[in-house]
Amino acid sequence: MTKYLIGLSALALTACATGPATPQYSATDASFTGWVRFSGEEFQLYADRDQVLQPFSRPCVSGAASKPEMEQAVRDLGGQKVTVTGRTAAWSSGLPGNRISHEGSAIRNDCGGAFVILADDIRPAN
């Protein structure tokens, strides 16, 4: 009986952990729409609104824009649905200082993804 209950508990936890499928971003994309959170000089972009409300939520994509663009976005767009345009760069843990610099901003890749977004523009999504 105990083994049966442990098995059911594990199955229930697995079902909760996986939840609904989240749309994923691709390194080949040039436009990304989702909810944004800012942390230092970088942003984290989430596909689902609920994710931006949870600390340490995954999956997400880290990125940054120029210093002036980031300053404006931090003031106006935190927690909102945005569209980010730009290009991606592959992430490697062997990067100098574990950062990628982009137009005066430093990306630390807090999301821990295989790529980051080098943003040209961050706007409210339509």
57-115: pLDDT as tens digits: 889 999 999 999 999 999 999 989 999 999 999 998 778 888 999 999 999 999 999 99
User: Is 2 within the bounds of a domain?
Assistant: no
User: Is 16 within the bounds of a domain?
Assistant: no
21-41: buried (b, 16+ CB within 10 Å) or exposed (e) per residue?
eeeebeeebeebbbbbbbeeb
User: Is 9 within the bounds of a domain?
Assistant: no
| Residue, of 70 and 2, whose pLDDT is higher | 70
pTM of the model: 0.80
- Residue 87 sits in a domain whose CATH number is 2.40.50
Cα(9)–Cα(110) distance, rounded to whole angstroms?
A: 31
Number of structural domains found in the chain: 1
Domain holding 81, by residue range, is 23-124
Cα(89)–Cα(19) distance, rounded to whole angstroms?
A: 29
